[in-house]
Amino acid sequence: MNDKALAVCLITTLTMIVLDTLLGILIAAKKREFSISKLPQFLATNVFPYIGGLLVLAGIGYAISDMAYLFYAAAGMVTVKFSKEALLDKVRVLFG
């Protein structure tokens, strides 16, 4: 597999996760439901597992190119979860 393609896929997927997280925080702040004390638990249970898992699989895919398909499969599933439509819905809630 191409290492550049793996890196682009990783960066794209991580960007979607970060955007989704930031938009969720902004929506909670707009609704006055945001609590800074709950943020660490939210990140630890809902964000970092995705990021950590992707980083581990990307590392394995980089080290053993025959295993890169595992990373691409996981990145595909995560991308579907944090899909463009979900991000657009959050933007509409925030600014609409």
CA dist 39 and 21 (Å) reads 10
Residue 28 has pLDDT above 80, yes or no: yes
pLDDT tens for 41-57 read: 999 999 999 999 999 99
| Type and span of the H or E element at 23 | helix 3-30
What is the average per-residue pLDDT within 58-63?
A: 95
Q: Quick check: 61 and 67 in contact, CB under 8 A?
A: yes
CA distances from 87 to 56, 57, 90, 91 (A): 25, 24, 5, 6
- The pTM score is 0.86
Residue 63 has pLDDT above 70, yes or no: yes
Mean pLDDT of the chain: 92
Residue 84 has pLDDT above 90, yes or no: no
